[in-house]
């Protein structure tokens, strides 16, 4: 029988100036176990105010309830964007198997961002929230560095470029009798993902072939390890397989913060998990840009069959 919940980690020991070594050790053990098994856990006492996250959800709900012609005024500007991400308002194509719309933020203060002119509150909340998630991402990167037994600050020095992170507000449409998927099962193409959702829920993680609902908890943030950590650890840590199931008659609102790598970075299994321990690499070396562009193409022009979407298995080495 698979556990019906994901682990919850208290991060308060990492903010305790007195130094709670026992609490930190316990958190690292819990996160390590979660990353080995399915790559999903949730954090509490993380330092981001609950009322700020609730404000963000409320403002995104206001935006997504605007008529289509109003939302489309905040669509991505053609040909702009440092990394060609579709910054601004996006909606999945009619033929997509995923049924959602989203608003993508690249970096507060960036000239590439597009914000709705008639909802300045959304911009101000995002500019408050975004750097807080950058800080939580840095902390979690340091913790995962310790969980993997890497030298101190190894991942931070490897991944010292923060201008490629991004955040998105999501709206999942109510389910219909024939369709209930909001996002089909997938893994994230970045390093670490952070999600907070409204009370509707719908996020599920797969473990041992079963789907575990991630029940919303006030003030909690869901964390999952993504593709680049799986590759660098040579599959010691698992990129979490997850999906969103929509509810009948209810919209779902959530935010995702994607702690990422510079698109010019090359990724491959680290020697600590291959040559130094006599293990063959499970993935070929690849450039982040190439992988992200393929995934983006899948998003904008979905293949006829969901199983034909590009994932990290594209670079897997047959053994």
Per-residue pLDDT tens digits for 172-216: 999 887 776 777 889 999 999 999 999 999 999 999 889 999 999
> What is the rounded (10 degree) CA torsion for 26, 7, 52, 198?
-170
Q: Among positive and negative, which fits the CA dihedral 215, 217, 219, 223?
A: negative
Give me the mean pLDDT over the 59-63 stretch: 96
Q: Any idea where the domains of the chain sit in the sequence?
A: 8-315
Q: What is the pTM of this model?
A: 0.94
- CATH code, 8-315: 2.60.120.330
Residue 83 pLDDT > 70: no
Per-residue pLDDT tens digits for 261-313: 999 999 999 999 999 999 999 999 999 999 999 988 877 777 777 667 788 99
Residue 151 pLDDT > 70: yes
HEC readout, 40-67: EEEEECCCCCHHHHHHHHHHHHHHHCCC
Contact 228, 190 (CB under 8 A): yes
Contact 212, 4 (CB under 8 A): yes
CA gap 220, 222 in Å, rounded: 7
Confidence at residue 5, expressed as pLDDT on a 0 to 100 scale: 79
Query: What mean pLDDT value characterizes the chain?
Result: 90
Confidence at residue 80, expressed as pLDDT on a 0 to 100 scale: 54
Q: How confident is residue 110, by pLDDT bands cut at 50, 70 and 90?
A: confident
Both structure tokens of 315: 């670079």
Q: How confident is residue 93, by pLDDT bands cut at 50, 70 and 90?
A: confident
């Amino acid at each position: 029988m698979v556990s019906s919940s994901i682990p919850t980690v208290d991060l308060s020991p990492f903010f305790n100036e007195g130094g709670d070594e026992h609490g930190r050790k316990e958190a690292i053990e819990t996160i390590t176990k979660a990353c080995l098994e399915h790559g999903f856990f949730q954090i509490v006492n993380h330092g981001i105010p609950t009322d700020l996250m609730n404000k963000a959800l409320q403002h995104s709900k206001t935006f997504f309830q605007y008529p289509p012609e109003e939302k489309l005024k905040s669509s991505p500007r053609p040909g702009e964007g440092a990394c060609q991400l579709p910054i601004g308002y996006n909606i999945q194509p009619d033929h997509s198997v995923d049924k959602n719309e989203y608003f993508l933020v690249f970096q507060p203060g960036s000239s590439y961002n597009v914000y709705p002119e008639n909802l300045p509150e959304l911009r101000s909340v995002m500019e408050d929230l975004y750097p807080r998630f950058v800080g939580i991402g840095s902390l979690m990167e340091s913790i995962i560095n310790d969980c993997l037994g890497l030298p101190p600050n190894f991942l931070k020095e490897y991944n010292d470029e923060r201008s490629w992170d991004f955040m998105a507000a999501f709206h999942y449409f109510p389910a219909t009798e024939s369709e209930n998927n909001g996002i089909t099962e997938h893994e994230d193409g970045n390093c670490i993902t952070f999600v907070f959702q409204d009370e509707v829920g719908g996020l599920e993680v797969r473990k041992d072939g079963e789907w575990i609902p991630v029940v919303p908890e006030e003030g909690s943030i869901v964390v999952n390890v993504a593709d680049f950590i799986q590759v660098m650890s040579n599959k010691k840590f698992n990129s979490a397989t997850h999906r969103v199931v929509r509810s009948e008659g209810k919209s779902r609102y959530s935010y995702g913060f994607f702690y990422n790598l510079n698109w010019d970075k090359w990724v491959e299994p680290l020697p600590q998990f291959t040559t130094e321990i006599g293990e063959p690499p499970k993935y070929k070396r690849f450039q982040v840009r190439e992988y992200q562009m393929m995934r983006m193409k899948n998003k904008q022009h979905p293949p006829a069959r969901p199983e034909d979407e590009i994932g990290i298995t594209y670079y897997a080495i047959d053994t």
